[in-house]
Amino acid sequence: MNYGLYLSAAGALTASHRQDVAANNLANVNTVGFKPQLAAAQARPPEAVEDLAPMRTSNQLLERLGGGTVVAASRVSLQAGPVVTTGNPLDAMLPQANAFFTVENTQTPGEPALTRDGRFLVSEAGELVNQAGARVLDDRGLPIRLPEGVPAQLEADGRVTAGGGLAGRLGVVEVAAADAAALRPIGGNRFALLGGAGTAAVAGPVLEVGATEGSASEPIRQLTSMLSAGKSASSNYRMIQNHDLLMDRAINTLARVA
């Protein structure tokens, strides 16, 4: 086995993953409430450690080289985006960086999805929904229904009013810093918590009505990260070609019998 070839291949895969994550973040620099992902990698242990076979005969030099790198689970950054004033009475943003609105989760019924996108509107069925059409949930986990023909608006304390009457209260939850690693995007600018991690309800949320949160993805940083990852991937691809060339010469030149 050409050990160096496999190490270079692992490096190329890791760099390509970093490039994909940065490209996705860059593509969402104008997405309302977008939270960028942070690409991660970890060292892969040598074969003897990974396979739990310490007694297997191996080259000690190769063991000290380790097993290269392997892609680790990406994390969602909780950094808050800039405030964007809209003047829409059904737009709201959460100043708390780790707070989220709760909306209907179409992929896993019964479990709410989380979003920072506070652009809401009233559906034809008279329910408060987000831009993707998912129903917004109240502080009890139920859809918010509005009376027909009455203009609705949001209040700074999370109440949804219509014609002066209370129609519901937005469900707002916080994700603890320890559980941030379990936050995963599920599409539609929504997130879910995996691995049994939980949220804490915010009893008295403070909203900024008539404004939304801009994307927290910084274009210059993401572009720099994407270019850096691309260079790293190219370097590893060249190393793979070099290893392939060395193997070719070892087989067809050095091993030739005169």
Residues 208, 235 within the same domain:
no
119 contacts: CB under 8 Å, gap ≥ 6? 32, 86, 88, 90, 91, 130, 131, 212
In order along its 258 residues, the chain shows pLDDT tens digits of 677 788 888 899 999 999 999 999 999 999 999 999 999 888 877 766 666 665 555 566 666 666 778 888 888 888 889 999 999 999 999 998 889 999 998 777 778 899 999 999 999 999 999 988 889 999 999 999 998 888 899 999 999 999 889 999 999 999 887 777 888 888 888 998 876 567 788 888 889 999 999 999 999 999 999 999 999 999 999 999 998 888 888 888 876 655
Number of domains in the chain: 2
Residues 125, 247 within the same domain:
no
Residues 196, 89 within the same domain:
yes
Residues 116, 193 within the same domain:
yes
Residue 145: CB atoms within 10 A of its CB come to 18
Residues 99, 208 within the same domain:
yes
Residues 150, 94 within the same domain:
yes
Looking at residue 243, its pLDDT comes to: 87
Residues 41, 130 within the same domain:
no
Residues 49, 89 within the same domain:
no
- Enumerate the β-bridge partners of residue 115: 101
Residues 94, 55 within the same domain:
no
Q: How far apart are CA 202 and CA 179, in angstroms?
A: 16
255 contacts: CB under 8 Å, gap ≥ 6? none
Q: Domain range holding 31? A: 3-78+217-254
Residues 68, 95 within the same domain:
no
Looking at residue 256, its pLDDT comes to: 67
The C-alpha torsion from 174 through 192 and 195 to 182, rounded to 10°, is -60
Assigned token pair, 103: 């909306």
Looking at residue 195, its pLDDT comes to: 67
Residues 206, 89 within the same domain:
yes
Residues 237, 198 within the same domain:
no
Looking at residue 217, its pLDDT comes to: 94
pTM of the prediction?
A: 0.81
